[in-house]
Amino acid sequence: MSMDDRVTLRRFLRRPEVERVTGLGRSAIYSKMANNEFPKPVPLSGGAVGWIDTEIADWQQQRIFARDGAKK
């Protein structure tokens, strides 16, 4: 495998951690996902899912930008 073929590793966050870092509850997360306002999880194994850490960080940054952009 060459350097160009390497995949950058991402961390999967389980729902309780997503709730902690976003301040959203379970129902709010799933409601926002249904409205395409929040990243969708990745199937991991069986019924387990995880959210990609960078996608959650991007969502947080978008929320901050929306807040700060509204002030201008």
Residue 4 pLDDT grade (very low, low, confident, very high; cuts 50, 70, 90)? low
**Ordered domains of the chain (ranges, CATH):** 9-70 (1.10.1660)
The predicted-structure confidence for 6-37, as pLDDT tens digits, reads as follows: 788 899 999 999 999 999 999 999 999 999 99
Q: What is the average pLDDT score of the chain? A: 92
Write out 18-55 in H/E/C secondary structure.
Answer: HHHHHCCCHHHHHHHHHCCCCCCCEEEECCEEEEEHHH
The amino acid at residue 12 is F
- What predicted TM-score, i.e. pTM, was given to this entire model? 0.84
**What strands, in cross-sheet order, belong to the sheet with 12-13?**
12-13, 48-52, 42-45
